[in-house]
Amino acid sequence: MGEIKFMKGNEALAEAAIRSGLQGYFGYPITPQSEVVEYLAMQEPNHNYVLIQAESEVASVNMVYGAAAAGARVMTTTSSPGFSLMQEGVSYIACAELPCVFANIVRGGPGLGTIQASQGDYFQAVKGGGHGDYHLIVLAPNSVQEMVDHCRLAFELADKYRNPVMLLSDGSIGQMMEKVVLPEPIPYKPDKPWATTGKTPDRKRNIITSLYIQSEDMEKKNQTIQAKYQEITKNEIRYEKYRVDDAEIIISAFGLTSRICKKVVDLAREEGIKMGLFRPITVWPFPTDQFAEFAAQDRVKFFLSAEMNAGQMVEDIRLSVNGKKPVYFYGRQGGIVPTPEEILNAAKGHLK
Amino acid sequence: MKEGYEVVYKRPKTLLDKRMHYCPGCFHATIHKLLMEIVEEMGIQEKTVGVCPVGCSVFAYDYMDIDMQEAAHGRAAAVATAIKRMLPDRYVFSYQGDGDLAAIGTAETIHACNRGEKFTFIFINNGIYGMTGGQMAPTTLEGQKTTTSPYGRNVQKLGMPLKMAEMVSQLAGVAYAERVSCNTPANTRKAKKALKKAFEIQGKGLGTTFIEVASNCPSGWKCTPVESLDWLKNKVYPYFPLGVFKDVPAVKEEV
């Protein structure tokens, strides 16, 4: 049993990173995420990680690039406008296949938006965000505990696939305090023969680049990355089911909204409505086959995706369901968290 | 080797025996060679990590037999910062052009210098965007014609060319800042000396070292290599004077 604490989501994430062998953190303050860098700054004297408050998110993501390419276990965290600024660097990191962890503590947008929680960055997180064909592995925690658990998992997946991994969280989870069980600290010994640590006589020089100027080389690089994404899709899809076995209505949500939707399911069941929750934990890779299986079952009447945005994950559900059953959407925007009752009412509105 | 002859000049082993893509007369090739000579002479091949930019020298890693990273446009200073912090006993350098270091990457440059990041900037200032076909740079001289300043740089609209070595020498984190050139054998030898000094200061961990090379671009300047040397002498050095702007170790030794 690990140590039990009462912590803020952002602080728990920072502590989890330390306990996962964090060697470098590069970040820039932005609400509602700043507690991560504040916590790491406070803890810095007790640990050996490198911490730089960079001059911008542009600089911090490129510091992540440099440190990851030098073989270190590294992370940066930010919130929506900051992650937009990072996109060029994220694309370079994806192409150079550098393991690292991002956390986006999402706030309402577009623009400067609001500092309240939102899920409006789903498209940016799962469809690429920057230029070119690439994917991050994207985990969507829905509690402070999962901020911790997913942090450790994110570092492991990043190393396993030489791929950037993102925690798609939000301002509520970042700011809320909950009981959390912290894992035992692990020492981190990188095994990265490809890293630029200085050319030794026993090997050729290591080059970290995302430049392949010959079209044939660039296509080959893309094919390599795509093959990796297929492997990740085969191995790493994660999800949670709640009362779905006899469900006629499949309600779906990720992150914070999935917790609200558990309550929606319980309320519906009290009224005799057979509802269940299917929650993608990895939003990329997306549990497409699982949605398709629900759609193929006669008893399932429709799907409803509840999100804190204008309807983003619902598009992936529709692609998965492929027209076999209706897929509806209910969402709130601007930093407003929907209540269980309003989501239930939205679902009931589709009952014939 | 014929009897009675001795080797007075050779390619350093750290410089790969490859045909370079640089234009005839361009200083990039010279600076690459000087840099790799220093790495060989100091015996630091195993401890050196370079960062190349977006620009003509984006392929520097094709020629230097050391571990290297290719950075996004303007971000070499951020990348080099992180490498040096993660691997503090390595020799780290960024190799950047003027568009990279002094336009899109100005913030990264200034802040790395201000933090006193203990790596070496090698700043190739040729007053133009060479790779993209000769557009105006932050260092393009007053009145100088480029593809985006076809009537000459209008400083009323665009400001004066940025003097980076002078600027960064004002920052407390910078231990050494010098502007050199390679227009004559004498200046090339001085350039090598400056680069070596920068690496030695980096090895002692005294602060940021910044070597600006007043460089040329015969293709972008639309002239012959020889004419480019005249332009350097007559136009560039008067505005971008060669010399040492900051030498903290020397000051300390005097004290």
Q: What is the percentage of chain B residues whose pLDDT exceeds 70?
A: 99
B115-174 residues touching A, CB cutoff 8 A? 115
- Among partner residues A23, A92, A199, which is closest to B72 by beta-carbon distance? A92
- Per residue in A287-330, pLDDT (tens digit) is 999 999 999 999 999 999 999 999 999 999 999 999 999 999 99
Give the distance from residue A66's alpha carbon to the nearest chain B alpha carbon, in angstroms: 4
Given B59, B78, B107, which is nearest A63 (Cβ)?
A: B78
If residue A321 lies in a helix (H) or strand (E), which one and from where to where? helix A313-321
Residue A74 with chain B: CB contacts under 8 Å:
82
Q: Out of A60, A197, A208, whose CB is closest to B70?
A: A208
- Domain ranges within chain B, ordered by starting residue: 27-254
Residue range A239-263: average pLDDT? 98
Residue A171 has pLDDT above 90, yes or no: yes
pLDDT given at position A1: 65
pLDDT tens-digit series, residues A123-159: 999 998 999 999 999 999 999 999 999 999 999 999 9
Q: Return the closest-CA partner of residue B126 out of B102, B150, B110.
A: B102
User: Which residues from chain B sit within 8 angstroms of residue A201, using beta carbons?
Assistant: 46
Pick from A3, A113, A130: which is nearest to A62 by CA? A130
Q: What is the mean pLDDT of chain B?
A: 96
Q: Which of B45, B59, B85 sits opposite A199 (nearest CB)?
A: B45
Residue of chain A nearest B44, judged by CA positions:
A198
Say which of A23, A50, A65 has its CB closest to residue B79.
A65
What would the mean pLDDT of B31-38 be, rounded to a whole number? Answer: 98
Touching B: A residues 283-342, CB under 8 Å = none
d(CA B251, CA B239) in angstroms, rounded, equals 26
Least confident range from A17-21, B5-9, B119-123, B165-169: namely: B5-9
Does B71 lie at the interface with A, CB-CB under 8 angstroms? yes
Q: In whole angstroms, how far apart are CA A340 and each of A129, A149, A265, A347?
A: 31, 26, 9, 11
What mean pLDDT do residues A91-100 have?
98
Q: How confident is the model at residue B253 (pLDDT cuts 50, 70, 90)?
A: confident
What is the Cα–Cα distance from A287 to A241, expressed in whole angstroms?
12
Q: Give the per-residue pLDDT at A242.
A: 98
Taking each helix axis as running N to C, give the angle between helix B76-86 and helix A57-69, from 0 to 180 degrees, rounded to the nearest 10: 50
Per-residue pLDDT of B166-192, as tens digits, reads 999 999 999 999 999 999 999 999 999
B199-222 residue pLDDT tens:
999 999 999 999 999 999 999 999
Q: Domain limits of chain A?
A: 3-235, 240-348
d(CA B169, CA B207): 11
For B75-110, how does the pLDDT look when each residue is reduced to its tens digit (9 = 90+)? 999 999 999 999 999 999 999 999 999 999 999 999
Closest to A62 (Cβ–Cβ): which among B58, B72, B90? B72
Overall average pLDDT of the B128-140 stretch: 96
The more confident residue out of A1 and B98 is: B98
CA atoms of A275 and A262, how far apart (whole Å): 10
Show residues of chain A in contact with B46, CB under 8 Å: 198-201
Q: How far apart are the C-alpha atoms of A78 and A68, rounded to whole Å?
A: 18
Identify whether the C-beta of residue A160 lies closer than 8 Å to the C-beta of residue A190: no
The mean of the pLDDT values for chain A is: 97
Instruction: Quote the CA–CA distance of B166 and A58 in Å, as a whole number.
Output: 25
Nearest to B46 among A50, A89, A198 (CB): A198
Chain A window 86-125: which residues touch B at a Cβ cutoff of 8 Å? 88-89, 92
Residue A71's pLDDT band, with cuts at 50, 70 and 90, is very high
Say yes or no: A200 contacts chain B, CB-CB below 8 A: yes
Determine the residue among A58, A63, A211 to mutate to test chain B binding: the one whose Cβ has the most chain B Cβ atoms within 10 Å.
A63
Tell me phi and psi for residue A312, to 5 degrees. -115, -60
A198: which chain B residues are within 8 Å (Cβ-Cβ)?
A: 45-49, 66-67, 87, 90
pLDDT for A201-213, tens place per residue? 999 999 999 999 9
CATH of B27-254, one of 3.40.605.10, 1.10.260.40, 3.40.50.920, 3.40.50.970: 3.40.50.970
Closest-approach residue (CA) in chain B for A89: B72
Rounded-to-integer distance, Cα B128 and Cα B145, Å: 10
CB A92 within 8 A of CB A123: no
B82 to A55: CB separation less than 8 angstroms, yes or no: no
A53 in contact with chain B, both atoms CB, cutoff 8 A = no
Comparing A12 with B4, which gets the higher pLDDT? Answer: A12
Mean pLDDT (whole number) for B12-33? 96
Average pLDDT over residues B13-30: 96
Distance (Å) from the alpha carbon of B70 to chain A's nearest alpha carbon? 5
Helices (H), ranges, A196-285? 215-235, 256-270
Q: Is residue A54 less than 8 Å (CB to CB) from chain B?
A: yes
Distance set, CA B96 to CA A69, A352, B74 (Å)? 19, 66, 8
The single residue listed with the structure tokens 């961990």 is: B205
Is B68 at the interface with chain A, CB within 8 A?
A: yes
Per-residue confidence band for A265, with pLDDT thresholds at 50, 70 and 90? very high
Nearest-CA distance B85 → chain A (Å):
7
Strands across the sheet containing A74-78:
A50-53, A24-27, A74-78, A100-106, A164-170, A137-139, A282-284
Conformation bin of residue A8: beta by default, left when phi > 0, alpha when psi is -120 to 50: beta
CB contacts, 8 Å: A72 with chain B: 86
Q: Which of B210, B197, B195 is nearest to B116 (CA)?
A: B210
Confidence grade of residue A348 (pLDDT, cut at 50, 70, 90): very high
- Are B66 and A205 inside 8 Å of each other by CB? yes
Beta-carbon contacts below 8 Å between A and B: 125
Quickly name the fold that domain A240-348 has: Rossmann fold (3.40.50)
In CATH, which of 3.40.1190.20, 3.30.1130.10, 3.40.50.970, 1.25.10.10 is domain A3-235? 3.40.50.970
Q: What per-residue confidence (pLDDT) applies to B255?
A: 66
B90 CB within 8 Å of a chain A CB: yes
Give the model's pLDDT for residue A2. Answer: 85
- Residue B32 pLDDT grade (very low, low, confident, very high; cuts 50, 70, 90): very high
Instruction: Using a CB–CB cutoff of 8 Å, tell me whether B103 touches chain A.
Output: no
A contacts of B64 (beta carbons < 8 Å)? 205
Is A283 within 8 Å of A257 (Cβ atoms)? no
- What are residue A30's phi and psi, to 5 degrees? -160, 135
Please enumerate in sequence order all residues whose Cβ is within 8 A of that of B154, keeping only pairs 6 or more positions apart, or say none. none
pLDDT of residue A4: 97
- In chain B, what percentage of residues exceed pLDDT 90? 95
Report the side by side order of strands in the sheet with A327-331. A239-242, A275-280, A249-252, A302-307, A327-331
Whether chain B has a CB inside 8 Å of the CB on A63: the answer is yes
For the cut 90, the answer to whether the pLDDT of residue A23 exceeds it is yes
- Residues A257-285 have a mean pLDDT of 98
